[in-house]
Protein backbone atom coordinates (compact mmCIF):
# COMPACT_ATOMS: atom_id res chain seq x y z
CA UNK A 1 0.00 0.00 0.00
CA UNK A 2 1.13 3.49 -0.75
CA UNK A 3 1.07 6.34 1.70
CA UNK A 4 -2.18 8.18 1.25
CA UNK A 5 -4.25 5.10 0.42
CA UNK A 6 -7.35 4.57 2.53
CA UNK A 7 -8.63 1.29 3.93
CA UNK A 8 -12.08 0.37 5.15
CA UNK A 9 -12.17 -0.63 8.80
CA UNK A 10 -15.22 -1.82 10.69
CA UNK A 11 -15.50 -0.51 14.26
CA UNK A 12 -16.35 -3.34 16.65
CA UNK A 13 -17.86 -0.98 19.23
CA UNK A 14 -20.32 0.92 17.00
CA UNK A 15 -20.43 -1.50 14.03
CA UNK A 16 -19.76 1.34 11.60
CA UNK A 17 -17.44 1.09 8.59
CA UNK A 18 -15.22 4.07 7.76
CA UNK A 19 -12.23 4.73 5.53
CA UNK A 20 -8.98 5.61 7.28
CA UNK A 21 -5.66 6.75 5.77
CA UNK A 22 -2.88 4.16 6.08
CA UNK A 23 -0.67 6.68 7.88
CA UNK A 24 -3.21 7.07 10.70
CA UNK A 25 -3.21 3.37 11.67
CA UNK A 26 -1.28 2.45 14.82
CA UNK A 27 -0.70 -0.91 16.50
CA UNK A 28 -1.26 -1.49 20.20
CA UNK A 29 0.32 -4.01 22.52
CA UNK A 30 -1.61 -7.25 22.80
CA UNK A 31 -3.34 -7.79 26.13
CA UNK A 32 -3.62 -11.49 25.37
CA UNK A 33 0.15 -11.89 24.98
CA UNK A 34 0.77 -10.08 28.27
CA UNK A 35 -1.87 -12.19 30.01
CA UNK A 36 -0.40 -15.45 28.69
CA UNK A 37 3.08 -14.39 29.83
CA UNK A 38 1.81 -13.45 33.28
CA UNK A 39 -0.05 -16.77 33.65
CA UNK A 40 3.12 -18.66 32.70
CA UNK A 41 5.06 -16.67 35.29
CA UNK A 42 2.53 -17.07 38.11
CA UNK A 43 1.63 -20.71 37.50
CA UNK A 44 4.92 -21.96 36.03
CA UNK A 45 7.19 -21.00 38.93
CA UNK A 46 5.32 -22.91 41.69
CA UNK A 47 4.79 -25.95 39.45
CA UNK A 48 8.49 -26.18 38.65
CA UNK A 49 9.40 -25.71 42.31
CA UNK A 50 6.98 -28.42 43.44
CA UNK A 51 8.24 -30.89 40.85
CA UNK A 52 11.92 -30.33 41.61
CA UNK A 53 11.81 -29.57 45.36
CA UNK A 54 13.46 -32.81 46.52
CA UNK A 55 16.20 -32.67 43.90
CA UNK A 56 17.08 -29.07 44.78
CA UNK A 57 17.70 -29.75 48.49
CA UNK A 58 19.67 -32.96 47.87
CA UNK A 59 22.15 -31.22 45.58
CA UNK A 60 23.52 -28.67 48.07
CA UNK A 61 25.15 -25.58 46.56
CA UNK A 62 24.42 -26.66 43.00
CA UNK A 63 20.79 -27.09 43.98
CA UNK A 64 20.65 -23.47 45.14
CA UNK A 65 22.05 -22.39 41.78
CA UNK A 66 19.49 -24.62 40.07
CA UNK A 67 16.74 -23.06 42.16
CA UNK A 68 17.77 -19.64 40.90
CA UNK A 69 17.65 -20.88 37.31
CA UNK A 70 14.29 -22.61 37.79
CA UNK A 71 12.71 -19.43 39.09
CA UNK A 72 14.33 -17.48 36.26
CA UNK A 73 12.91 -19.65 33.46
CA UNK A 74 9.23 -18.59 33.79
CA UNK A 75 10.38 -15.02 34.31
CA UNK A 76 12.44 -15.20 31.13
CA UNK A 77 9.48 -16.57 29.17
CA UNK A 78 7.35 -13.65 30.41
CA UNK A 79 10.01 -11.11 29.41
CA UNK A 80 10.49 -12.70 25.97
CA UNK A 81 6.75 -12.60 25.24
CA UNK A 82 6.52 -8.93 26.25
CA UNK A 83 9.68 -7.97 24.34
CA UNK A 84 8.46 -9.62 21.13
CA UNK A 85 5.08 -7.90 21.42
CA UNK A 86 6.72 -4.50 21.97
CA UNK A 87 9.04 -4.94 18.99
CA UNK A 88 6.05 -5.96 16.82
CA UNK A 89 4.20 -2.77 17.79
CA UNK A 90 7.25 -0.56 17.30
CA UNK A 91 8.07 -1.97 13.86
CA UNK A 92 4.45 -1.57 12.68
CA UNK A 93 4.14 1.99 13.95
CA UNK A 94 7.53 2.98 12.47
CA UNK A 95 6.59 2.09 8.88
Q: Is the pLDDT of residue 39 over 80?
A: yes
pTM for this predicted structure? 0.59
For residues 62 and 69, the answer to whether their CB atoms sit within 8 Å is no
Instruction: Give the domain ranges of the chain.
Output: 27-94
73 CB-contact burial (10 Å; exposed 0-12 / middle 13-18 / buried 19+): middle
pLDDT one-digit tens code per residue, 68-94: 777 788 888 888 988 998 898 888 888
Amino acid sequence: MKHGDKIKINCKACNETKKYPVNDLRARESRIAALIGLVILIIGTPIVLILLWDYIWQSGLYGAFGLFLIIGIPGSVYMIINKNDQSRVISFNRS
